Amino acid sequence: MPAKHLFEYAVLRVVPRVEREEFINVGVILYCAAQGFLQVTCQFDEARLLAFAGPGLDLADVRERLRSFERICRGRPTGGPIGQLAVASRFRWLTAQRSTIIQTSPVHPGLCHDAAAMLTSLHAQLVS
């Protein structure tokens, strides 16, 4: 049986009005040092998000902010200066507390054999 590896994850949330602290889960970011894995998966129902947030929500802005998470995870020059950091540092930066429209939950640990499969499973449980 393959060894289990420690992983950490956080849920990505759209928080349309930060002062109300209401949110909809739209993705999961997962980091596994042993597997050199850092990926994010995002998906949201536009109609549901607009019904929740109201017509003032800029969906193009939400999409672009979520794409920035993807670029930083990939660690290429398109991820900007943060995308050039070590994998662990990128994860810590992405999951740092912030008061913006895109926020992350607290970081949670777990054990897995396959980080990619765990990301898919967590997304299905927490977002879909």
Predicted confidence at residue 114, as pLDDT, reads 97
Question: Rounded to an integer, what distance in angstroms lies between the CA atom of residue 100 and that of residue 96?
Answer: 11
- Computed over every residue of the chain, the mean pLDDT equals 94
Residue 22, both tokens: 């209401």
What's the pLDDT band for 1 if we cut at 50, 70, 90?
low
For the chain, what percent of residues have pLDDT higher than 70? Answer: 99
* pLDDT bucket at 79, cuts 50 / 70 / 90: confident
Q: How many CB atoms lie within 10 A of CB 12?
A: 26
For residue 122, with 0-12 CB atoms within 10 Å meaning exposed, 13-18 middle and 19 or more buried, which class applies? buried
Q: What is the pLDDT of residues 63-75, one digit of tens each?
A: 999 999 999 999 9
Q: Which residue is associated with the tokens 């607290």?
A: 106
Q: Decide: helix, strand or coil at residue 11.
A: strand
Predicted confidence at residue 99, as pLDDT, reads: 85
Give CA–CA dist 49/63, Å, rounded. 12
- Full domain range(s) for residue 89: 5-126
Please state the rounded mean pLDDT for residues 40-50.
93
Q: What ranges make up the beta strands (E) of 33-104?
A: 37-42, 102-104
Q: pLDDT by residue (tens digit) across 83-120? A: 999 999 999 999 999 888 999 999 999 999 999 999 99
How many domains is the chain built from?
Answer: 1
Distance (Å, whole) CA 87 – CA 108 = 17
- Give alpha helix (H) positions in 1-128: 46-53, 59-74, 80-83, 87-94, 115-126
